[in-house]
Amino acid sequence: LLPAGPVVAELLTQHPALKILCTSRTRLGLSGEHVYPLASLEADDAVQLFTQHVRARDERFDLATGDRPTVAAICDRLDRLPLAIELAAARVATLPLDALLDRLDRRLPLLSGGPRDAPERQRTMRDTIDWSYGLLTEDEQVAFRRLSICVGGFTLDAAGAIARDGADALDIVEALVANSLVIRTQSGFGKLRFLMLETIREFALSQLREVGNYATVCQTHADWFMRMAESEVPNFDGPGLRVAHDRVEADLDNCRAALAWTLEAGEAETGIRLAGALWRIWWYGHVNGGRPWSERVAEGRSWLDRTLAFRNGLPVTVLADAMAGAGHLARFQDDLGQGEALGEELLGRSRTEDHAYGQFWALHLLGWLAEGRGQVAEARRLYGEALAVAPAIRNPENHSAMTLVRMSGIADREGDLRSAAEGFDRAYAFYRKCGNPAGIATSAFNLGRVMRKRGNPKQASILLGEGLLGFQGQRDLGGIHASLVELALVALDTKCVGQAVRLLSMAQGYPGHPDCQPAYDRALTSATAQVSGPQFAGSWQAGQQMSWDEVVALIGTLAADPGEPVGVGQATPTHGLSPREIDVLRLLVDGHANRAIGDLLSISERTVEAHVQHILAKLNLESRTSAATWAVRNGLV
């Protein structure tokens, strides 16, 4: 269609009211042109199109309810492309649906036999893609072939490294997008990404193999994603944890492909370094609510074990993260023997090579294993050694806090609540110093739990509230569940049974760790025994519908001294806030939106928003919920 561009332009010039609708592989490049990209079909439309094409060949075809998932899977494997769906539907005359789906691991040989009256390039899927490929420049063809090595998409940075030997790839990627061979996507953290549909990628991969530099491109791909994953490791210890997790998670399919290639090619060091950089992703997998945590841990351990099988001769600087990760994941799966073997080997190697980082992780792992065996004294000794090594490694505060949390957990279980509180408080301070949001939430939660056991419901509520909102910010669903249960126990301790039921109802909506189940059952039994059926049902339904602002307000209620109305001003430091800002902050704690605050204080909604922004700036906070929690914690309500 491109050669017809001047004709289209001339027609529009001579007839200003004329509108022309064109379908083309790429834009015509005319002034005034509006582009409407044609995306893949929606799932239901794809199934309908497939069914129509099959019925055109065999009117007896009936899409039974049980067959619909198979047809939907077939369409998904074909990227829901209309031509691919038409060509695949033609095969149903000789292949049952299940067999057709099984054969789509290699799509292109199957997608042939189009109508004789169609253009030759549209009679097979390969010919269609090959026609577009032939219209690319030589540089664009090289980039197209190389980028086919990426699984699940890529960023511009990755494209530059893989397709352009480190040069900027913007122009070349835009050319592939313009030629409908690559599509733009968006990652969950706002980063622009690009994707080659699997049907197109299969063709590009075949071209890459024909050229003969497949192994070189695989090596470049594995090296780049290894370095990317390693660069994010330090961020898992600080305020960038959530972003680091999302960045690596977005390219986890690329990392899997790279790991598989290192095993096939015998690239032991690259594979071990990549797997070692990724183990925290599998460990932190419980935060996203997708695959069960246990499945992610099993996958991570499998990659670590397979790559570490080739560790002979490699230094501990290469091995430390992978061995520590494999050991911790083994411990999570209760494989104490394998965990101990890895921990002892890592400790021995690290001491021989004077590698403090490896020593710390080995001692921490061995302490956790000793806990699992009930060897409390040995666990304390190992944690103590780890704590002594921590100052010599990167981000000592974070690693010290990790160890203190484990040591304090032992004290908590033994009933030594004073030592537990002191340890969790030190961990909290360390995590605050290094800015680790997950650590802050964990230590605040644990300290709040201890405060509850010590009979201090106000302090417990404040700390548990901080932990809850921290877990929410990290999307840690298990942490949210545990915090809600503990807050329900505080509510029961203070005879606020209705609030307890609401909190337990909300907790039910989040997956909890098995260790939390006894506390949940205990709280639910106690609440059920204290309220009537209708009252319980009403509170339970209210909990199902609670917003986070309402949760913050409820925590404020629990944190109030007995007999003291929530929101009554105290003679407390103002922390640089004006009296009006304190008024706004207290109403935030009560869960009011800006408009409601404005109505209560007789000021405009815009003025309220300005006050909120000033409060956040003065307190160095990022959200309304964190400001409300801060206010409760610091006695401003």
Q: Is residue 397 over pLDDT 70?
A: yes
CB < 8 Å & 24+ apart, contacts of 228-233: 228/158, 229/255, 229/274, 229/277, 229/278, 230/273, 230/274, 230/277, 232/277, 233/277, 233/280, 233/321
- Mean predicted confidence (pLDDT) in 91-114: 76
Q: Is residue 110 over pLDDT 80?
A: no
* Percent of the chain topping pLDDT 90: 49
Provide the 3-class DSSP secondary structure of residue 429: helix
pLDDT in tens, 37-50: 777 888 889 888 88
Q: Is residue 476 over pLDDT 50?
A: yes
Residue keyed to tokens 């990290």? 474
Q: Is residue 129 over pLDDT 80?
A: yes
Provide the 3-class DSSP secondary structure of residue 154: strand
* Rounded-to-integer distance, Cα 182 and Cα 141, Å: 12
Sequence letter at residue 14: Q
pTM of the model: 0.76
Give me the pLDDT at residue 117, please: 52
DSSP letter assigned to residue 291 = S
**Contact criterion met (CB below 8 Å) for 593 and 607:** no
Residue keyed to tokens 């829901």? 80
**Contact criterion met (CB below 8 Å) for 205 and 148:** yes
* Rounded-to-integer distance, Cα 614 and Cα 336, Å: 52
DSSP letter assigned to residue 226 = H
Q: For the beta carbon of residue 534, count every other beta carbon within 10 angstroms.
A: 8
Cα dihedral sign for 335, 338, 340, 346? negative
Q: What are the helix (H) ranges across 284-395? A: 293-308, 316-332, 336-352, 356-372, 376-389
Q: Is residue 481 over pLDDT 90?
A: yes
In order of 477, 575, 589, the CA distances from 469 in angstroms are: 11, 22, 13
Q: What are the helix (H) ranges across 18-137? A: 43-57, 68-77, 82-89, 97-103, 125-134
Give me the pLDDT at residue 148, please: 96
Confidence class of residue 190 from pLDDT cuts 50, 70 and 90?
low
* Rounded-to-integer distance, Cα 483 and Cα 112, Å: 57
Q: Is residue 97 over pLDDT 70?
A: yes
Give me the pLDDT at residue 285, please: 57
pLDDT in tens, 197-254: 988 899 999 999 998 889 999 999 999 999 999 999 999 888 888 888 889 999 999 9
Give me the pLDDT at residue 566, please: 37
DSSP letter assigned to residue 64 = -
- Report residue 291 as tokens: 């695959």
Q: Is residue 570 over pLDDT 70?
A: no
- The residues near 18 (Cβ < 8 Å, ≥ 6 apart) are 11, 12
- The residues near 6 (Cβ < 8 Å, ≥ 6 apart) are none
* Rounded-to-integer distance, Cα 392 and Cα 394, Å: 7
**Contact criterion met (CB below 8 Å) for 406 and 328:** no
Provide the 3-class DSSP secondary structure of residue 181: coil
Confidence class of residue 120 from pLDDT cuts 50, 70 and 90?
low
CATH number of 579-633: 1.10.10.10
Instruction: Name the range with the highest mean pLDDT among 83-92, 105-114, 147-156.
Output: 147-156
- Mean predicted confidence (pLDDT) in 388-392: 97
Q: Which residue has the higher pLDDT, 132 or 108?
A: 132
Strands (E), 150-290: 183-186, 192-195
Indicate the class that CATH gives domain 396-559. mainly alpha
- The residues near 253 (Cβ < 8 Å, ≥ 6 apart) are 151, 152
DSSP per-residue letters across 367-423: HHHHHHTT-HHHHHHHHHHHHHHGGGSSSHHHHHHHHHHHHHHHHHHTT-HHHHHHH
What is the separation of C-alpha 408 from the centre of its chain, rounded to a whole number of angstroms? 29
Q: Is residue 289 over pLDDT 60?
A: no
Of the listed ranges 54-68, 342-356, 536-550, the one predicted with least confidence: 54-68
Q: For the beta carbon of residue 561, count every other beta carbon within 10 angstroms.
A: 11
Q: What angle do CA 569, 575, 576 make, to 5 degrees?
A: 110
- Mean predicted confidence (pLDDT) in 502-525: 90
* Percent of the chain topping pLDDT 70: 92
Q: Is residue 5 over pLDDT 50?
A: yes
Q: Which residue has the higher pLDDT, 636 or 411?
A: 411
Sequence letter at residue 201: R
Confidence class of residue 574 from pLDDT cuts 50, 70 and 90?
low
- The residues near 331 (Cβ < 8 Å, ≥ 6 apart) are 339, 365, 368, 369, 372
- Report residue 133 as tokens: 């490929």
Q: For residue 262, give the H/E element and its range.
A: helix 252-265
Residue 183, beta-bridge partner list: 195
Give me the pLDDT at residue 91, please: 80
- Report residue 585 as tokens: 């902050």
Nearest to 443 by CA among 423, 457, 462, 459: 423
Give me the pLDDT at residue 172, please: 94
Give me the pLDDT at residue 440, please: 92
Q: Is residue 499 over pLDDT 60?
A: yes
Give me the pLDDT at residue 1, please: 65
Give me the pLDDT at residue 121, please: 55
Residue keyed to tokens 């260790």? 515
Give me the pLDDT at residue 572, please: 46
- End-to-end CA gap in the chain: 69
pLDDT in tens, 611-622: 888 788 777 777
Give me the pLDDT at residue 573, please: 53
Cα dihedral sign for 245, 247, 250, 256? negative
Q: Is residue 60 over pLDDT 80?
A: no
Question: In whole numbers, what is the pLDDT of the chain averaged over residues?
Answer: 87
Provide the 3-class DSSP secondary structure of residue 561: coil
Give me the pLDDT at residue 581, please: 80
Q: Is residue 331 over pLDDT 90?
A: yes
